[in-house]
Chain A
Amino acid sequence: AQRVTQPEKLLSVFKGAPVELKCNYSYSGSPELFWYVQYSRQRLQLLLRHISRESIKGFTADLNKGETSFHLKKPFAQEEDSAMYYCVLGNTGRRALTFGSGTRLQVQP
Protein backbone atom coordinates (compact mmCIF):
# COMPACT_ATOMS: atom_id res chain seq x y z
CA ALA A 1 0.00 0.00 0.00
CA GLN A 2 1.10 3.54 -0.66
CA ARG A 3 1.79 5.75 2.31
CA VAL A 4 3.31 9.17 2.89
CA THR A 5 4.49 10.26 6.32
CA GLN A 6 5.17 13.83 7.31
CA PRO A 7 6.23 13.60 10.96
CA GLU A 8 5.93 17.29 11.81
CA LYS A 9 2.56 19.02 11.95
CA LEU A 10 4.19 22.37 12.60
CA LEU A 11 7.66 23.71 11.89
CA SER A 12 8.51 27.17 13.15
CA VAL A 13 11.73 28.92 12.12
CA PHE A 14 13.07 32.44 12.02
CA LYS A 15 13.59 34.36 8.81
CA GLY A 16 16.96 33.50 7.28
CA ALA A 17 17.20 30.11 9.00
CA PRO A 18 17.47 26.88 7.01
CA VAL A 19 14.34 24.83 6.53
CA GLU A 20 13.90 21.09 6.12
CA LEU A 21 10.42 19.58 5.87
CA LYS A 22 10.63 15.84 6.25
CA CYS A 23 8.81 13.30 4.12
CA ASN A 24 9.05 9.52 4.01
CA TYR A 25 7.11 7.28 1.69
CA SER A 26 6.18 3.66 1.25
CA TYR A 27 5.62 2.34 -2.27
CA SER A 28 6.51 -0.95 -3.93
CA GLY A 29 6.95 0.46 -7.44
CA SER A 30 8.98 3.28 -8.90
CA PRO A 31 7.79 6.39 -7.06
CA GLU A 32 6.88 9.76 -8.46
CA LEU A 33 7.07 12.39 -5.77
CA PHE A 34 5.86 15.95 -5.50
CA TRP A 35 5.54 18.78 -3.05
CA TYR A 36 2.29 20.74 -3.10
CA VAL A 37 1.84 23.98 -1.16
CA GLN A 38 -1.13 25.96 0.07
CA TYR A 39 -0.54 29.60 1.00
CA SER A 40 -3.07 31.44 3.16
CA ARG A 41 -6.35 32.00 1.28
CA GLN A 42 -4.96 30.38 -1.85
CA ARG A 43 -5.54 27.08 -3.58
CA LEU A 44 -3.42 24.01 -3.31
CA GLN A 45 -0.73 24.19 -5.98
CA LEU A 46 2.25 22.22 -7.21
CA LEU A 47 5.58 23.44 -5.85
CA LEU A 48 7.96 20.96 -7.40
CA ARG A 49 8.29 17.40 -8.69
CA HIS A 50 11.24 15.08 -8.27
CA ILE A 51 11.64 14.22 -11.94
CA SER A 52 12.23 17.88 -12.82
CA ARG A 53 15.11 18.20 -10.34
CA GLU A 54 14.36 21.91 -10.26
CA SER A 55 14.57 24.62 -7.63
CA ILE A 56 11.36 26.58 -7.12
CA LYS A 57 11.33 29.67 -4.90
CA GLY A 58 14.66 28.47 -3.51
CA PHE A 59 13.26 25.08 -2.47
CA THR A 60 14.81 21.79 -3.54
CA ALA A 61 13.96 18.18 -2.81
CA ASP A 62 16.04 15.10 -3.50
CA LEU A 63 14.58 11.65 -3.81
CA ASN A 64 16.51 9.15 -1.68
CA LYS A 65 15.27 5.69 -2.63
CA GLY A 66 17.48 3.98 -0.07
CA GLU A 67 15.93 5.93 2.80
CA THR A 68 12.57 6.28 1.01
CA SER A 69 12.64 10.00 1.69
CA PHE A 70 11.88 13.18 -0.20
CA HIS A 71 12.69 16.00 2.19
CA LEU A 72 12.06 19.61 1.13
CA LYS A 73 14.87 22.05 1.84
CA LYS A 74 15.58 25.75 1.62
CA PRO A 75 18.79 27.33 2.88
CA PHE A 76 17.29 30.67 3.98
CA ALA A 77 13.61 30.88 4.90
CA GLN A 78 11.53 33.93 3.99
CA GLU A 79 8.32 35.11 5.67
CA GLU A 80 6.41 34.50 2.43
CA ASP A 81 7.31 30.80 2.68
CA SER A 82 4.81 30.43 5.51
CA ALA A 83 2.23 27.92 4.26
CA MET A 84 0.99 24.34 4.51
CA TYR A 85 3.23 21.91 2.64
CA TYR A 86 2.13 18.47 1.48
CA CYS A 87 4.40 15.69 0.32
CA VAL A 88 2.63 13.70 -2.39
CA LEU A 89 3.22 10.29 -3.95
CA GLY A 90 1.97 9.41 -7.43
CA ASN A 91 1.26 5.84 -8.49
CA THR A 92 2.01 4.30 -11.86
CA GLY A 93 0.27 6.39 -14.45
CA ARG A 94 -0.31 8.98 -11.76
CA ARG A 95 -4.05 8.55 -11.66
CA ALA A 96 -4.22 8.79 -7.90
CA LEU A 97 -2.08 10.97 -5.68
CA THR A 98 -1.43 10.00 -2.07
CA PHE A 99 -0.99 13.02 0.18
CA GLY A 100 0.78 13.21 3.49
CA SER A 101 -0.99 14.90 6.37
CA GLY A 102 0.94 18.13 5.78
CA THR A 103 3.41 20.31 7.66
CA ARG A 104 2.59 23.89 8.47
CA LEU A 105 5.70 26.07 8.09
CA GLN A 106 5.74 29.31 10.08
CA VAL A 107 8.55 31.71 9.32
CA GLN A 108 8.85 34.33 12.01
CA PRO A 109 10.42 37.75 11.44
Chain B
Amino acid sequence: ETGVTQSPTHLIKTRGQQVTLRCSSQSGHNTVSWYQQALGQGPQFIFQYYREEENGRGNFPPRFSGLQFPNYSSELNVNALELDDSALYLCASSLRYDEKLFFGSGTQLSVL
Protein backbone atom coordinates (compact mmCIF):
# COMPACT_ATOMS: atom_id res chain seq x y z
CA GLU B 1 0.00 0.00 0.00
CA THR B 2 1.55 3.28 -1.10
CA GLY B 3 1.06 6.46 0.85
CA VAL B 4 0.19 9.94 -0.36
CA THR B 5 2.85 11.34 -2.65
CA GLN B 6 3.28 14.97 -3.66
CA SER B 7 5.40 16.56 -6.36
CA PRO B 8 7.51 18.53 -6.60
CA THR B 9 8.96 18.73 -3.10
CA HIS B 10 10.24 22.27 -3.60
CA LEU B 11 9.39 24.98 -6.08
CA ILE B 12 10.50 28.56 -6.64
CA LYS B 13 8.35 30.93 -8.67
CA THR B 14 8.16 34.66 -9.23
CA ARG B 15 5.21 36.91 -8.52
CA GLY B 16 2.52 36.76 -11.21
CA GLN B 17 3.43 33.29 -12.43
CA GLN B 18 1.22 30.22 -12.31
CA VAL B 19 1.99 26.94 -10.54
CA THR B 20 0.61 23.39 -10.54
CA LEU B 21 1.15 21.04 -7.63
CA ARG B 22 0.38 17.33 -7.86
CA CYS B 23 -0.82 14.71 -5.44
CA SER B 24 -1.31 10.96 -5.70
CA SER B 25 -3.80 9.55 -3.23
CA GLN B 26 -3.24 6.56 -1.05
CA SER B 27 -4.50 3.40 -2.71
CA GLY B 28 -8.29 3.03 -2.41
CA HIS B 29 -8.92 6.63 -1.31
CA ASN B 30 -11.48 8.66 -3.29
CA THR B 31 -11.16 11.97 -1.44
CA VAL B 32 -8.37 14.53 -1.60
CA SER B 33 -8.04 17.65 0.51
CA TRP B 34 -5.53 20.46 0.09
CA TYR B 35 -4.14 22.61 2.88
CA GLN B 36 -1.84 25.63 2.96
CA GLN B 37 0.57 25.91 5.88
CA ALA B 38 2.33 29.22 6.34
CA LEU B 39 5.45 29.35 8.48
CA GLY B 40 4.61 28.99 12.18
CA GLN B 41 0.93 28.35 11.53
CA GLY B 42 -1.32 25.33 11.38
CA PRO B 43 -2.56 24.04 8.02
CA GLN B 44 -5.46 25.99 6.51
CA PHE B 45 -8.12 24.25 4.42
CA ILE B 46 -8.14 25.20 0.74
CA PHE B 47 -10.62 22.73 -0.75
CA GLN B 48 -11.63 19.10 -0.95
CA TYR B 49 -12.46 16.83 -3.90
CA TYR B 50 -14.67 13.79 -3.52
CA ARG B 51 -15.12 11.51 -6.52
CA GLU B 52 -13.89 14.21 -8.92
CA GLU B 53 -16.24 16.93 -7.62
CA GLU B 54 -15.33 19.88 -5.38
CA ASN B 55 -16.84 19.04 -2.01
CA GLY B 56 -16.06 22.08 0.08
CA ARG B 57 -13.89 25.15 -0.14
CA GLY B 58 -12.12 27.31 2.40
CA ASN B 59 -11.57 31.05 2.37
CA PHE B 60 -9.26 31.19 -0.64
CA PRO B 61 -9.70 33.31 -3.78
CA PRO B 62 -10.72 31.80 -7.14
CA ARG B 63 -7.14 31.91 -8.40
CA PHE B 64 -6.72 28.76 -6.29
CA SER B 65 -8.31 25.96 -8.27
CA GLY B 66 -8.11 22.21 -8.37
CA LEU B 67 -8.88 19.03 -10.21
CA GLN B 68 -9.35 15.42 -9.28
CA PHE B 69 -8.82 12.76 -11.90
CA PRO B 70 -10.60 9.39 -12.38
CA ASN B 71 -7.71 7.64 -10.62
CA TYR B 72 -8.34 10.07 -7.71
CA SER B 73 -5.01 11.84 -8.06
CA SER B 74 -5.29 15.61 -7.84
CA GLU B 75 -3.81 18.93 -8.86
CA LEU B 76 -3.76 22.30 -7.15
CA ASN B 77 -3.35 25.26 -9.47
CA VAL B 78 -2.54 28.77 -8.33
CA ASN B 79 -2.66 31.65 -10.80
CA ALA B 80 -1.17 35.12 -10.48
CA LEU B 81 1.12 34.14 -7.63
CA GLU B 82 1.56 36.57 -4.78
CA LEU B 83 4.37 36.76 -2.22
CA ASP B 84 1.94 35.61 0.51
CA ASP B 85 1.37 32.36 -1.38
CA SER B 86 4.78 31.21 -0.16
CA ALA B 87 3.95 28.25 2.08
CA LEU B 88 3.97 24.50 2.47
CA TYR B 89 1.10 22.95 0.53
CA LEU B 90 -0.19 19.71 1.97
CA CYS B 91 -2.32 17.13 0.26
CA ALA B 92 -4.30 14.58 2.27
CA SER B 93 -6.37 11.66 1.08
CA SER B 94 -9.10 9.69 2.82
CA LEU B 95 -11.39 6.76 2.17
CA ARG B 96 -14.34 9.13 2.25
CA TYR B 97 -14.76 12.84 2.85
CA ASP B 98 -15.54 12.29 6.54
CA GLU B 99 -12.81 9.78 7.26
CA LYS B 100 -9.31 10.03 8.74
CA LEU B 101 -6.84 12.04 6.66
CA PHE B 102 -3.52 10.66 5.47
CA PHE B 103 -1.11 13.47 4.66
CA GLY B 104 1.65 13.76 2.12
CA SER B 105 5.01 15.35 2.88
CA GLY B 106 4.05 18.57 1.15
CA THR B 107 5.35 20.91 -1.53
CA GLN B 108 7.31 23.92 -0.32
CA LEU B 109 6.47 26.86 -2.59
CA SER B 110 8.55 30.02 -2.52
CA VAL B 111 7.31 33.08 -4.42
CA LEU B 112 9.95 35.73 -5.06
Contact = CB atoms under 8 A, between A and B. Distances in A.
Interface of A: 4, 43-46, 49, 86, 93-102
B45 A43 contact: no
Interface residues of B, number: 24
B103 A45 contact: yes
Contact of B105 (A43, A94, A97): A43
B41 A101 contact: yes
B55 interface: yes
A14 to B, nearest CB: 26
Interface string B92-112: 100001101111110000000
B100 A95 contact: no
B90 interface: yes
24 contacts: A43-B4, A43-B103, A43-B105, A44-B103, A45-B103, A46-B100, A46-B101, A86-B42, A93-B97, A94-B97, A95-B33, A95-B48, A95-B56, A96-B45, A97-B45, A97-B101, A99-B35, A99-B42, A99-B44, A101-B40, A101-B41, A101-B42, A102-B41, A102-B42
B2 to A, nearest CB: 13
Given A43-B104, A94-B98, 7 more contacts: A43-B4, A45-B102, A95-B33, A95-B56, A97-B33, A97-B45, A97-B101
A20 to B, nearest CB: 19
Contact of A99 (B4, B43, B97, B102): B43
Contacts of B41: 101-102
Interface in B20-45: 33, 35, 40-45
A5 to B, nearest CB: 11
B105 A95 contact: no
B58 interface: yes
Nearest to A49: B100
